[in-house]
Structure 1
Amino acid sequence: MSAADLARLQFAATTSVHWLFVILTMGLVPMVAFMHTRAAYTRDPATRAVRERMTRFWGQLYVINYAVGIVTGLVMEFQFGLSWSGLSKFAGNVFGAPLALETLIAFFAESTFLGMWIFGWGRMRRGVHVALIWLVALTAYASAFWILVANGFLQHPVGYEVRDGVAYLTDFGALVTNANALVALGHIALAALTTGGVFVAGISAWHFAKGTRETALFRSSLRLGVWVSMLSSFFVIIVGNLQIPVIERTQPMKAALLDGSGVAEEQARLVAQHGPGDYVPWQGWVKNSMDLMSILGNTVSTITFIAVFLLLKDLLVRKRWLAYLMTAIIPLPFIASVGGWVVREIGRQPWLVYGELSVDDALSNVSRGSLAVSCTLFIAIFVALAAVNWTLITRFARRGPDGAQLGAGDPLADDLPGAGGADEKQPVPAF
């Protein structure tokens, strides 16, 4: 493999692993915030105690994923200087601003709010405590917005001018309203909610299949997860289709690959515009990844739509094979979302900044041997972190609410009530 191939492999692998953390974080945090809000403002003591335990259980799984995932985000930052110094030299004045904002929001604001929420159990008034988890959710999506603004510039550079071979920002409004960023944000947000909903529904269904005694807690969780995943998976397909006109307008070669026609004509046009070269990305990767994402997305949408009706008859609770089916589809949204990123990133090759900076020109002056070592180490670290994350999530998910350590201790009177002494078999409203 060439140095460029190794650098691309390293970034592709680490980004894909990091994205598995991000999409679950974005999908879970609004649901945890919703659970906490319901718990904090429920008057019936028994129902409130169940909902508090529900918040602690799912909140702990969210915190585990966030804590391990943020490490992968920190490590990824080093790759820009290590492998892609040409990008910083050419587009640092434009690309750097949204990337810095994303870092400030994710690693400072979001982490601060989350830390206050974690250690605020029993120490804050309930309104303040609830506001904190909603601020965590808000900053999570604000972080996603800024990283997509940065990525949107790579996909379709706008709001800049090139002087002496360096891009300078001239229109900040155009940068943040780039259609390649905004439509993608809607698609990703809905994909994350689908992932979070399937995750919650799948784990809840597994506990019913195993004969849980926490019927009230997991029944409410199951309903929430199924409804969220059903609605979001339906709209994620619609918003995903809204990206097609944007791709056709800004990246006609990618559009030709996805359509399966006009590739030769587009190659000839790009040669005439940018000079000799191969402007056709890996067609099999782009088309197959798009098909994989579409098939899995439609599968999840269909299953969750049927699951809504099964809830009415309580079949997801009473039929073990249906419960196990809900658990089995947990990986599907993750795989589909990685397929979507493959389409987005590989489909713009050979450009790093579309039409302005090629991958080869952006590559740092690093030896092939150094890149081989760093590629191996980065991928090994990320795979190890992913294994640790899912081992911890699986362990605590299997333990159930009794194993939750988030907010352990007796809350103050103005906050949520203590978790003990409630009859977990009492019925709880779905929403």
Structure 2
Amino acid sequence: MGLTLATIPLAVTNLSRMQFAVTAITHFLFVTTTIGMLLTTMIFEFMYAYGRGDTEKYGRLTLFFSRIFFFSFGTGVVTGLIMEFQFGMNWSAFTRLMGDVAGVPLAIESMISFFVESTIIGLWRFTWGKLPKRAHAWLGVGMLGASLFSIVWIIAINAFMQNPYGFRLEGGRARLTSLITLLQNPQYRPEFLHVLFAILITGGFLTAGIAAWQILHKRDTSAFKIAVQIGLLIALPAAFLQPAQGDDQGAATAALQPMKFTAIEGRYETEGSPTTGAPWAMAALINEDTHTTKAVSIPNMGTYFGKNTFTGTMPGMNAVAKMYHAKFDKTVAKSYDGQMTYYPPVTLLFWTMHLMVYAGYFFTMFALFATIMLHRRQSAIEDHPKTLRTLGWVLWLPYLTFTSGWIVAEVGRYPFVVYGLLTQYDAVSPSVTVTEAGTSLALFLMADIFLVTTMIYISHRTVKRGCRKSPVIIQKIAQFRIHLQRRRSVMPSLSNLQVIFLGIISTELMLFFVLDGADFGAGMATFFVGDDLSKRQQIMKVTGPVWGGNETWAVTAFAVMFAAYPGWYSALTSGYYPLIFLMLFFLIFRGVSFDYRNQWHSRHYNRFWDWALFIGSLMPPFLLGIIFSSTVSGVPIRNGFVYASMGDILTPFSILGGILAVLFSLNVGLNRVIKKVTEPVATSLTVALKRTTWILYPALVLFAILLPFNTQFFTNRPVIVTLLLILLVAFLGVETWAISQQRRRVAFWLSVGTMASFIYTIFLGVFPTLIVGRTAGTSITALTATSGPVSLLWTAWLFGFTIILMVGLQATAYHLINKYYHEPASPMI
């Protein structure tokens, strides 16, 4: 692999590990909350839609818990973006070497699960009271199914990293042999079920705890009694099954990762015999310097947890370390120059594991106790304030528990990223500096703390408001019902696949720039209406329900890039680390601003989120324009990685590309918003649109002049590039005429054509080169960056199937949202 401790500072590896830990834990906090809240919300909505008698209280519960779900979902989306890009930013060597295997599940998760749930959520949120109750409830089922389908493939990737399976090594890179084989990994089933039960426990206790708090404060007691019961009925079976499932995963860990298993048991020396078993330490004082443990133990249980039998020897860490040195020092771990230690942080693993074990048994006993106490016929729920108060505190414990579980799973794999195949040091991005890694860690940590704190704060405010009947909501539901009643009167060659995938990626990025670019433009458009809240709300009503689905086009584009061109993905995301990091940072605050902005009526608070929306809409297209303009003009490349300074990236040509991306986004966004808003907002935005188009003309002329001097466009494909530029100018010219004639629909579609022409000019101009190197022979091309034929074929079939689903689903969402746009806002918004 060519890396040693002299070429990459060890600090970069450690900083990257800490950043991944922070972002992964934060993201999973929102994943479990999102799925748990969605499950309980769906149960309440089905009771509301299919129940008999007075079902209004189920409707109130649906609206109440859906608010917490929306806060969590929006924050989970933006933290999930960081997770995907980190594989390339901080761990580009992993992406390059293992992307052929990990890329396909990630592409499936992004193209199907993430897209479906992000598109349906806007539709589900916008159409409450407009669609029939039962149809609306089934939209939620689609979201829940997509979320669970996402877990299937994310766990498949993690199971591969824990126990490599379903691959072959070819030229030092892992090549996928079968997608189905990935799901047959012995590590997969126990890990998947363990995570699933953790989500159910979290969702159940969170629902019951919030409802218990409401009952204690005498808020809508009749409705929240049901919520307590439903929450406990979700948590109880999962809590009973989880310990047994944990035993299965422990046995799998003992067989597949012996060092991790011995560390969580705090065992340094081999113990047990053919007639007796190794003890299990209930608590221990561990000295990691002397490799000794003083423990209070239960005889024979250590062997039982490892082998499901009470007799037999269990190896200690010292014996396992000797085995690892003999097996890996001269092969997988040779980059460490003999300085490798295979001992993980034993104290951390021991106590996090034991916290998880003890909490698991507590969940079982307390869920059973609370269910019995609160379901007794002789007394009412409110007659047990101590139990209710305990429920209100216990809702925090699952978060601590599953965080401990992820620490055990990931830290226990030390020093490997892919167990037995790739160490952390060999997986880190070679082009990332200590300053870049440290800065991004600090800023992501601050952003995550801010997001978690804000999420807790606004959720607390929502809980305090309760779900008491609101005359405004009841009136809106009645209005919706009136509106409803009125409306009822052969395998391709490898080279062909490479061409196909460039077309797929460029098309997905084009759709991202058109759809989410329109959202960026709408966010920037708020600048032109000042502080007038009613005008801002008109603009936000255009983009609020659809921004999540639109943003998934970028996620799926980079996921397909990961699967089809791991060399391109790893070089791009690590080589442009500061710009990718800044883009994600701004996307985080833009994404949550839609839900967070109106949760507290304070001038400074509202102004902060207004600026977050504006800057978060301005900077991502600007940064992406710089990145892709830089890749076609040339950057320093060595050994397949980009080593570019800010001076190499920020050239006049690339900055102009960023400005053009902003102008194109503003152009599309203003055209889209103007179609929907009323006067006088439409008039003021039309003035801004005319100014934008006139600024575009000189910017495009300058761009065309600089093209021959900064790119190979007119060398590789002069005819295609010339035609695309002519088409681009023609679209812009006719659009200017359409704006002057107030042909708003025509102007919008012409702005889409202008944006598409610009994107295809960038991507088709240098193909098959993907990133142009400044030195001859160093460019990253479709041939050198590609995956193997199995991964390419799986991804091609996947895309062919899902593109129909993606386009159809999003078209349906846009149709329904446009249909009901001028009706009163949904209570879910």
**1:386-425 alignment to 2 at 5 Å?**
386-402=452-468, 409-410=477-478, 411-412=480-481
Distance 2:46 2:254 in 1: 43
The aligned counterpart of 1:4 is 13
From 136, 144, 148, the equivalent of 1:141 is 148
| TM-score (normalised: structure 1) | 0.91
Q: Is residue 257 of structure 1 aligned with residue 322 of structure 2?
A: no
| Conserved? CA contact 2:27–2:76, under 8 Å | yes
Match of 1:66 among 73, 77, 94: 73
**Secondary structure of the corresponding residue to residue 175 of structure 2:** strand
Work out the CA distance in 2 between the residues paired with 1:163 and 1:53.
58
**Is 1:343 aligned to 2:397, yes or no?**
no
Distance 2:408 2:129 in 1: 46
- Tell me the distance in 1 between the aligned counterparts of 2:347 and 2:178: 37
> Which amino acid letter does the alignment assign opposite residue 263 of structure 1?
M
Q: SS state of the match for residue 272, structure 1?
A: helix
2:32 — aligned with what?
A: 23
CA distance in 1, matches of 2:459, 2:186: 36
Deviation at 1:20, TM superposition (A): 0.6
Aligned mates of 1:283, 1:414 — CA distance in 2:
63
Deviation by residue 1:348-399 (Cα, 9 ceiling, x = unmatched): 1100011110000011121112111111011111111111211111111111
- Aligned residue for 1:149, secondary structure, equals helix
Aligned equivalent of 2:433 = 367
Give the Cα–Cα distance (whole angstroms) in 1 for the partners of residues 368 and 360 of structure 2. 12
**Identity percentage of aligned residues:** 29
**Inter-partner Cα distance in structure 1 for 2:48 and 2:170:** 56
In the alignment, the residues of structure 1 paired with residue 113 and residue 67 of structure 2 have an alpha-carbon distance, to the nearest angstrom, of 19
Secondary structure in structure 2 of the residue aligned to 1:161: strand
The structural deviation recorded for 1:105 is: 3.3
- 1:265 deviates by 0.8
Distance 1:225 1:94 in 2: 38
Tell me, yes or no, if the aligned pair for 2:213 and 2:392 is still in contact at 8 Å.
yes
* 398-407 vs 29-38, greater mean Cα deviation: 398-407
Aligned pair partner of 1:358 in 383, 407, 423: 423
**Structure 1 residues 149 and 415: CA distance shift in structure 2, 3 A:** farther
SS of match in other structure, 2:481: coil
In structure 1, the residue matched to 2:111 is 104
The separation in 2 between residues aligned to 1:352 and 1:201, in whole angstroms, is 38
Q: Which amino acid aligns with 1:340?
A: G
Task: Name the SS for the 2:131 alignment partner.
Answer: coil
Q: Deviations over 1:324-365 (max 9, x none)?
A: 111011110010000000000011110001111000001112
Deviation track 1:276-311 (CA, whole Å, cap 9, x = no partner) reads 531121111111110111122222222111101111
What residue number does 1:225 align with? 231
Offset at residue 42 of structure 1 (A): 1.5
Q: State whether residues 300 and 332 of structure 1, in contact with CA within 8 Å, keep that contact through their aligned partners in structure 2.
A: no
Alignment pair present for 1:90 and 2:97? yes
Q: Give 3-state SS (helix, strand or coil) of 2:24's partner.
A: helix
Query: How many residues were matched structurally?
Result: 413
Work out whether residues 114 and 147 of structure 2, in 8 Å CA contact, stay in contact via their aligned partners in 1: no
Displacement of 1:412 in angstroms is: 2.8
Q: Which amino acid aligns with 1:251?
A: Q
Which of 289, 294, 308 is 2:371 aligned to? 308
Pick one of 233, 249, 253 that aligns with 1:247.
253
- Higher relative CO (Cα under 8 Å, sequence separation at least 6) belongs to 1
Shift of residue 145, structure 1, vs aligned partner: 1.0
CA 1:251 to 1:413, structure 2 compared with 1: closer, same or farther past 3 Å? farther
Q: Distance in 1 between matches of 2:355 and 2:119?
A: 37
Shift of 1:403: 8.3
The structure number with the bigger radius of gyration is: 2
2:187 is paired with a residue of what secondary structure? helix
Counterpart of 2:130?
123
Match of 1:329 among 369, 394, 397: 394
| Aligned residue runs from structure 1 range 131-280, under 5 A | 131-212=138-219, 214-261=220-267, 262-275=316-329, 276=338, 277-280=340-343
Residues in 2 aligned to 1:148 and 1:406: alpha-carbon distance in whole angstroms? 40
Q: Which amino acid aligns with 1:115?
A: G
Q: Alignment partner of 1:216: what SS?
A: helix
Q: SS state of the match for residue 123, structure 1? A: coil
- SS of the residue corresponding to residue 157 of structure 1 reads coil
Cα deviation per residue 1:155-182 (whole Å; 9 max; x = unaligned)?
1111111111111001222112223222
Per-residue CA deviations over 1:169-215 (Å, capped at 9, x if unaligned) read: 01222112223222211111111111111111111111111122x12
Letter in 1 for 2:395: I
Question: Within 2, Cα distance between the matches of 1:303 and 1:181?
Answer: 29
Q: CA deviation at 1:53?
A: 1.0
Check whether the contact 1:57–1:406 (CA below 8 A) recurs between aligned residues. Answer: no
CA RMSD, Structure 1 to Structure 2 (Å): 2.0
Query: How big is the shift at 1:415?
Result: 8.3
TM-score normalised per structure 2: 0.48
1:30–1:137 CA contact under 8 A, matched in 2? yes
Alignment pair present for 1:298 and 2:361: yes
CA–CA distance in 2 between the matches of 1:319 and 1:152? 43
- Which residue of structure 1 lines up, in the alignment, with residue 349 of structure 2? 286
Mapped to 2, the partners of 1:258 and 1:319 lie a distance apart of 38
Residues 34, 72 of structure 2: 8 Å contact kept: yes
Q: CA deviation at 1:41?
A: 0.9
Amino acid at match of 1:395: R
* Aligned mates of 1:371, 1:211 — CA distance in 2: 50
Distance in structure 1 (CA, Å) of the matches to 2:473 and 2:442: 35
Structure 2's unaligned 5+ residue stretches are: 1-9, 268-315, 330-337, 486-829
Aligned 8 A contact 1:98 1:149 in 2:
yes
2:698 — aligned with what? none
Deviation at 1:106, TM superposition (A): 4.1
| Matched residue type, 2:61 | M
Query: Partners of 1:128 and 1:8 in 2: how far apart?
Result: 45
Map of 1:419 onto structure 2? none
CA distance in 2: counterparts of 1:174 and 1:114, whole angstroms: 32
- Is the alpha carbon distance of 1:164 and 1:199 closer, same or farther for their aligned partners in structure 2, counting shifts above 3 Å? same
Offset, 1:85? 0.6
Q: How far off its partner does 1:227 sit?
A: 1.8
Of 84-93 and 253-262, the range deviating more from structure 2: 253-262
Structure 1 unaligned residues grouped into runs of 5+: 417-431
* CA distance, structure 2, for counterparts of residue 208 and residue 383 of structure 1: 30
Q: Does residue 14 of the first structure (1) align with residue 23 of the second (2)?
A: yes
CA distance change for structure 1 residues 180 and 403 in 2, over 3 Å: closer, same or farther?
A: farther
CA distance in 1, matches of 2:388, 2:483: 38
Give the Cα separation in 2 of the matches to 1:55 and 1:218. 11
Deviates more, 1:295-304 or 1:133-142: 295-304
**Aligned residues of 1:198 and 1:330 also touching (Cα < 8 A):** yes
